[in-house]
């Protein structure tokens, strides 16, 4: 059971907010708003800023009429905290002393006005890099104390890589997100806080499956956000782009290879160690002393590519890249790139099934080729530099 706040002083800003609420109540009453609608309107104010509950209850004595008394009775029916109910009764007593009379109707069923709920946490998601890492930020409003903020970096192979729990003012937090976390190429987008909590829990589960201890402060944060749940197991993008809208649209799937031309996909590639053996085989095929006809050489290269595709993307890795595309599709959509978001969803849906040896997923196929030739070109440049160095005659 919560205790009645000891400090009832109302600062200037809170006083101005109370005055605006009272003005809105009077305006609504003059427009013949029903008692139920008036209760819901006040409830919405207090859900957003619950710290105004007691100051508003006490200020209602400045509006001495039957409608105010009915409003307070509705609030009393929904009050769970004893100190809230006590404050309402005090104000009703003062109204009665001022000569206000009202009909006390017995409440039926669930109260129209529910007790103020804490504001939902804010959430922000960053873009995913080629290793599967991204930033997740969750901010929980705290009455009279600004925001409690989780800043984490999670990875779909390693779990939680970094975790920090900090306090910010609302203004300081907005400046931090805009100035320190977000950039043109790697934006941070607002996302339902419950979904961000869901993603963080996924990362923590992976963390524990890998037998790694959870970072300091995680349990505290988990307790703070325990009332925020995300019930839909599907990635959030499917709330905006339905699978049926892009599934089996051949032109969208083919065009998904174009995603590699934009950020952050243009930076996505497989690790050098992953593709090294295939890059070496390709180099050998190009430099082979055995004279091959063009069609024989092409067949040899295609065989290497397809071996790499099959061995580098087993089912678990294929589905991991599917999820990366789905999460990035939401980022694209939130940054105004709806067409590109649809391409990403199309490529992701195609990754539900195993690769076709004849017509593999265009996005993954281009990812593989790009990764191979990044390594091959890098090795060639290193070789050229070494050859030039060997030609320098030292005195």
User: What residues in the chain have per-residue pLDDT under 50?
Assistant: 1-2, 6-8, 107-113, 115, 380, 383-384, 386-395
pLDDT in tens, 3-34: 555 444 556 777 888 888 888 888 887 777 77
What is the number of helices (H) and of strands (E) in the chain?
Answer: 15, 5
Which of these, 167, 137, 141, lies nearest to 150 by C-alpha position? 137
List strands edge to edge, sheet with 159-168: 159-168, 146-155, 133-142, 122-126, 188-192
pLDDT at 183: 84
Question: Could you please report the per-residue DSSP string of 140-182?
Answer: EEETTTEEEEEEEEEETTTEEEEEEEEEE-HHHHHHHIIIII-
pLDDT at 341: 96
Query: How far is 141 from 11, CA to CA, in rounded Å?
Result: 18
Pairing between β-strand 188-192 and β-strand 122-126 as defined by DSSP bridges: antiparallel
What's the pTM value of the predicted model, to 2 decimals?
0.68
Q: How many CB atoms lie within 10 A of CB 105?
A: 11
pLDDT in tens, 27-36: 887 777 777 7
């Amino acid at each position: 059971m919560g205790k009645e706040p000891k400090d009832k002083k109302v600062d200037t800003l809170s006083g101005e907010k109370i005055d605006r609420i009272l003005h809105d109540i009077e305006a609504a009453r003059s427009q013949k708003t029903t008692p139920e609608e008036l209760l819901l309107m006040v409830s919405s104010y207090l859900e957003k800023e619950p710290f105004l509950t007691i100051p508003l209850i006490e200020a209602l004595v400045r509006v001495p009429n039957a409608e105010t008394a009915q409003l307070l009775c509705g609030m009393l029916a929904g009050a769970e905290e004893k100190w809230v109910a006590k404050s309402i009764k005090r104000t009703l007593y003062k109204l009665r002393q001022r000569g206000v009379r009202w009909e006390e109707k017995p409440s039926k069923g669930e109260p129209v006005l529910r007790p103020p709920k804490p504001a939902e946490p804010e959430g922000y998601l960053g873009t995913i890099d080629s290793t599967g890492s991204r930033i997740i930020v969750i901010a929980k409003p705290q009455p009279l104390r600004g925001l409690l903020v989780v800043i984490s970096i999670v990875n779909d192979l390693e779990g939680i890589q970094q975790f920090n729990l900090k306090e910010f003012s609302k203004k300081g937090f907005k400046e931090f997100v805009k100035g320190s976390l977000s950039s043109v190429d790697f934006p941070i987008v607002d996302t339902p806080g419950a979904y961000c909590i869901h993603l963080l829990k996924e990362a923590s589960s992976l963390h524990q499956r890998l037998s790694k201890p959870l970072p300091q402060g995680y349990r505290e944060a988990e307790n703070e956000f325990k009332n925020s749940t995300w019930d839909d197991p599907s990635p959030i993008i499917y709330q905006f782009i339905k699978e049926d809208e892009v599934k089996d649209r051949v032109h969208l799937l083919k065009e998904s290879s174009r995603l590699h031309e934009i950020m952050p996909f243009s930076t996505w590639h497989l690790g050098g160690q992953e593709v090294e053996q295939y890059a070496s085989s390709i180099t050998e095929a190009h430099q082979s002393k055995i004279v091959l006809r063009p069609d024989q050489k092409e067949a040899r290269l295609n065989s290497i590519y397809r071996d790499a595709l099959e061995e580098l993307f087993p089912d678990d890795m294929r589905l991991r890249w599917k999820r990366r595309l789905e999460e990035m599709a939401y980022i694209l959509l939130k940054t105004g790139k709806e067409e590109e978001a649809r391409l990403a969803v199309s490529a992701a849906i195609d990754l539900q099934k195993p690769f076709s040896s004849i017509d593999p997923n265009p996005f993954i196929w281009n990812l593989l080729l790009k990764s191979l030739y990044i390594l091959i070109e890098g090795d060639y440049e290193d070789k050229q530099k070494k050859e030039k160095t060997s030609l320098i005659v030292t005195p």
